[in-house]
Chain A
Amino acid sequence: MRIVIIGNGISGVTAARHIRKLSDHEIIMISEEGEYFFSRTALMYIYMGHMRKEDTMPYEPYFWKKNRIQLIQDRVTKVDPEKQILSLKKGESLAFDKLILATGSTPRPHPAIPDMSAVKGVSGMYHIQDLEGLEKISSEVKRAVVVGGGLIGIELAEMLHSRGTKVTLLVRENSYWNMVLPPEESNMVTEHIKSHHIDLQCSTEMADFTIENSQIKQVNTNKGEQIPCQYLGMSIGVIANIAFLKDSGIETDRAILVNNNLQTNYKNIYAIGDSAQLKTPNPGRRNIEAVWYTGKMMGEVVAHNVIGESITYDPGIWFNSAKFMDIEYQVYGTVPAKMPEEFDSLYWQHPTLDKSIRIVYKKENEEVIGFNLMGIRYRHEVCERWLKAKNTLSEVLPRLPLANFDPEFSKVFEADLVSQYNKKFGKSLQVKESRGLSNVINYFKSFGNI
């Protein structure tokens, strides 16, 4: 059986690896971006000089040969699901028995600049080509504007800033990423970005801009400021990379529609990663989750389905992480940006450093439903265990240090959070555990989980 995978991002590659682990089928992986898989999440580090492109490639070139995964660098222009044939840009066509669509996303174009490639000095930051384009003009860029207050926007701002470019970051919301982060955390990040002398302008949007000789010259904000610049970064979100599937008969909405086996309306065609949209996502989860971790999980699940085992996709407890300049961020479970009536949270923030812990719980029974960490690392397995087991605050808090994953010798702040709880509820909980692997293993042993 020949399995063809379009896209060599994390989801396609994970699928290929697991199909190979499980079977001997022929695997062909096609991508237009580059021959070898690299980590998109590390794009910024290449520009900032922390790594070379080679360093962001998780597998050495021998890996593909060894695992008999054939790589083709080309663009798929058309898929014919009935005939089970793909057309490639270079002219060839390729037959498949099963097809996995892992085509990822592409930067969402601003309505005012539908074709960013036509203007010099305007781009998103998604593909390696975007980075190469920026690198090429980098020496001429003295002043830059980045539009969009999401995760890629801040990364783009940090990249430019690291090379001494003066950056203005325009964010529509009144503080950074406050549609996801609760207000305190959002403020902390906002202040932190400003402390790095990045010109972060909240509640501000790009009104229009000037282009001269098809080169960006100036951006005007809706507050009337005129910012001359040589680069305009667009990071107002991403859209699924599915234009080439138009009229193919494969059902799409914002992305490719799949059932819980990640199957499209054709039973031998699957979609995963950023380019997949679940018809019936788990309660509380979005139907498109364009993040690394879900792409990875989908890749593993689809591998089983492709070789004939029916496994439904269940991403479990939500988790994610990011880094805002120097502030690391981790989240486990549900942490709403605006607390609904039925939830509340315990929040502790370091008086001087950019560190905080937030635990979200249900008011009615104090069941813990989420952890939000800034500048502090928490242990995935411990948080997930508590969330899955629907533990309450009084069960979690005395054991909270078990979740702490900060390096040895670093200060632990869990007791501060617990005393806050005691104050708030007039209780006298004591921290009973300390952090460290042995304690965690013993804890998991105590309910027979190891």
Chain B
Amino acid sequence: MKNIKYIGIALFFVGFCMFHYLILGGNYKITKSSLTNAITNTVHFDAISKHIQLGSEQGLFETVSSVKSAVQNAQVDVNNNFEKLKTNNTPLPNGMGEWDYKIGDGNISGYAQSITKASIGESHLSSIKTWGLLSFLLCIVGALLWISSRFNRQPGIQNDGLFHNPLTRGITAPVRNVLLIVVGVGILVYGYLTKSTNWAIISVLIALLIAGLVFWYENKTVTKGSKSIAPNVNGYAGIALGLYLISFYVLLYWAPAYLVSATKILDPLSIALSGNPASQWFLYGFLYTVAMIVMGIRMYAKYRHDKYQLMRTGSVVFFQLTFAFLLPEILVKLNMPYHDFKNIWPLDYDFLFDWNINSLIANGTFGIFILVWGIFLAIVGVPLMTYFFGKRWYCSWVCGCGGLAETAGDPFRQMSDNSLKAWRVERYVIHGVFVAAIVMTVLVLYTFFTGNYQFLGMESYQLRSWYGFLIGAGFSGVVGTGFYPVMGNRVWCRFGCPLAGYLGIVQRFFSRYRITTNGGQCISCGNCSTYCEMGIDVRSYAQKGQDIVRSSCVGCGICSAVCPRGVLRLENSDLDIKTRTKHTSGLVIDGNGAHFNF
């Protein structure tokens, strides 16, 4: 049986290497026809053709950089031309508008991607066709075999050796902090360089303000948080995996041209679903969904003694596969707007952007239905469902981000810092992001309704593009997922997600949900706190016999599953909403002596 596991691991790595060889290696050749395929705009075509060297065989990296510089040079030309035409009052050719004519900053990466993709050399193309799907298949089959060994173990908690494993044992707080700072500063500098706005500076100021608030609060109270990640743990494999994931997200968001061969593998599938060739987003959606399905099967193996876990895992995988992956593509095929019906503002931060509202309205009844449904979910659905079930109805049953965390992220849940200090930082940061999302949306809507771009000195377009860059990509993707093996699987959900902030406020104050503790049965072992992916110190409540009501609790139920003494149960009741935070059970000593009280 052990052999099957090792065969699985071997297959997985063969597939993994094959895939990377395919997407990073191979030959590229920019030809006239690849340019024609990639560029439909005639002005841009002419300008770019002038700067590009045709015909030579190159590798991926040379190709991308030569394409990029050609497009950048073309941009200068075209935009100079535009100014000239404007001063001469000459009309633009073919009745083009200003932004049809000019090459915007946003176009550069798009052209780099489309031209590179159209230039994949013939021999490389045929290897992609032959080996591409096979490499995916090897990874999937390998992973499944790897996982299958879990089915041989008896049903029960399977956490043996997690803190002995270099992948899952975590790293020291200083190393973690250095990694976090390097990545954070890197993102800001990159944003400053490419976006050339002062939003990077404002972001730094906001970050400093939040840090300042945390430290001020720390000093104001006697209870300085101290315990943190344990000393002398060096999960080097975890760091390596984290760096790999971070690089993937950086390429995905900001340099998709390097992923064109990977998207090429998926073109047939994408065309079958939506009629369009695969973009980097389709690639991402595909990998995401596959990861969730495979690791969802792992969850089945791991928690098959706990039906709550099975139902929940089934649910997130279902919502990812249908609502997030398949349905939007099918909508596109039917000429309807791409939409994920379970994504909710403010997580879906561009839902109320002018272009989205316009395109929905332009689409007629169905588009308006999407608009109404989205607004209904945010205003009525969230509070109502959270009142009944707590935020878990979304975060650990429906949400895609939560879904990945609960499946692919499960091996890393013990990395979540459950110190008091971490809780303080968390509260400031997540509510800060929630406020930022609201401000940005209000501003964007203000512009939408009044046509005015300025509000109290803030530029709505700049603000939203910076929010999208910093929060939408940097925080949720690069840090949110890249840091799984370093800071636990819910980094984004815990510190960043504005919707989680919103759901959390409802859960804390107006919900029937809580985790009940079972009288005096707690032995303070700490399994619940260790395996809480949200870094809640569950034990600190359980050992007092106090029920757990926390805005961050996503109701994954793992604390209950790993508790060796049957102390915790996720429950809803409307009979004691006001007192549920205070409810404690345990030994009480009063005038009548000592007795148990519930």
Residues of A within 8 A of B (CB): 10, 39, 41-42, 45, 48-58, 60-63, 65-66, 162-163, 195-196, 292-293, 296-297, 300-301, 304, 311-314, 316-317, 319, 321-323, 325-326, 328, 330, 377-381, 384, 405-411, 436-438, 441-442, 444-445, 449
Contacts and interface: CB of A to CB of B under 8 A. Distances in A.
Given A326-B155, A436-B573, A56 B525 contact: yes
Q: What range describes how many residues of B lie at the interface?
A: 35 or more
- Which 4 pairs, one residue from A and one from B, show the smallest C-beta to C-beta distance? A380-B519, A326-B156, A377-B566, A381-B598
Contact of B308 (A62, A195, A407): A407
29 contacts: A48-B160, A49-B161, A49-B165, A50-B157, A50-B527, A51-B525, A51-B526, A52-B230, A53-B230, A61-B227, A162-B161, A196-B154, A292-B523, A296-B520, A301-B594, A312-B594, A323-B565, A325-B156, A326-B157, A328-B564, A377-B566, A380-B519, A380-B520, A407-B307, A407-B561, A407-B570, A409-B307, A437-B573, A441-B575
A58 B539 contact: yes
A300 B519 contact: no
B222 A314 contact: no
A410 B307 contact: yes
Interface of B: 154-157, 159-165, 169, 222-227, 230, 233, 305-308, 311, 414, 419-420, 516, 518-521, 523-527, 529-530, 539-540, 543, 557, 560-561, 564-566, 569-576, 585, 587, 589, 593-596, 598
Contacts of B420: 60, 62
A123 to B, nearest CB: 21
B230 A49 contact: no
Contact of A39 (B306, B520, B523, B574): B523
A215 B582 CA distance: 55
B162 A50 contact: yes
A330 B530 contact: no
A312 B593 contact: yes
B566 A328 contact: yes
B230 A55 contact: yes
Contacts of A379: 518-519
A49 B164 contact: yes
A191 to B, nearest CB: 12
Q: Interface majority SS on B: helix, strand, loop or mixed?
A: loop
Of A58, A296, A405, A437, the most chain B CB neighbours within 10 A belong to: A437
Nearest to A375: B305
A45 B226 contact: no
B226 A55 contact: no
Contacts of B560: 407
A62 B160 contact: no
A55 B535 CA distance: 12
A62 B223 contact: yes
Contacts of A378: 566
Nearest to B518: A380
Contacts of B587: 296-297, 300
A316 B595 contact: yes
Contacts of A304: 589
Contacts of A381: 519, 585, 596, 598
B589 A301 contact: yes
Decide if the interface of chain A is mainly helix, strand, loop or mixed: mixed
Nearest to A379: B518
Contact of A42 (B516, B526, B557, B594): B526
Contacts of A411: 307
A406 B543 CA distance: 19
Contact of A407 (B155, B523, B557): B557
Contact of B527 (A45, A292, A405, A444): A45
B163 A52 contact: yes
Contacts of A66: 222-223
B170 to A, nearest CB: 8
Contacts of B527: 42, 45, 50-51
A52 B569 CA distance: 25
Nearest to A321: B565
B85 to A, nearest CB: 68
A408 B570 CA distance: 7
Nearest to A300: B587
A348 B249 CA distance: 54
Contact of B227 (A57, A300, A314, A410): A57
B264 to A, nearest CB: 42
B521 A380 contact: yes
Given A325-B156, A407-B561, A10 B593 contact: no
B154 A319 contact: no
A408 B157 CA distance: 18
A45 B565 CA distance: 14
Contacts of A52: 163, 230, 233
A321 B224 contact: no
Contact of B311 (A41, A300, A328, A409): A409
A60 B557 CA distance: 24
Contact of B523 (A41, A51, A436): A41
A50 B307 contact: no
Given A48-B160, A48-B161, A441 B155 contact: no
Max chain A C-beta neighbours (<10 A), residue from B157, B159, B160: B160
Contacts of A380: 518-521, 585, 596, 598
Contacts of B224: 62
Contacts of A377: 518, 566, 569
Contacts of B161: 48-49, 162-163
Contacts of A405: 518, 566, 569
B519 A55 contact: no
Contact of B593 (A311, A326, A408): A311
Given A49-B162, A296-B587, A411-B307, A56 B526 contact: yes
A162 B576 CA distance: 43
B540 A58 contact: yes
Contacts of A53: 230
Contact of A313 (B540, B564, B594): B594
A169 B583 CA distance: 43
Nearest to B530: A55
Nearest to B418: A55
Given A42-B525, A292-B524, 19 more contacts: A50-B162, A51-B530, A55-B230, A57-B227, A58-B540, A62-B223, A196-B154, A297-B594, A311-B593, A321-B565, A323-B564, A325-B156, A326-B154, A379-B518, A380-B520, A384-B519, A384-B596, A408-B570, A444-B598
B224 to A, nearest CB: 5
Contacts of A321: 521, 523, 565-566
A396 to B, nearest CB: 17
Contacts of A63: 223
Most central of A50, A330, A408 by chain B CB within 10 Å: A50
A294 B596 CA distance: 12
Contacts of B307: 407-411
A60 B162 contact: no
A311 B230 contact: no
Contacts of A317: 596
Contacts of B575: 437-438, 441-442, 445
Given A41-B524, A162-B160, A381-B596, A436 B519 contact: no
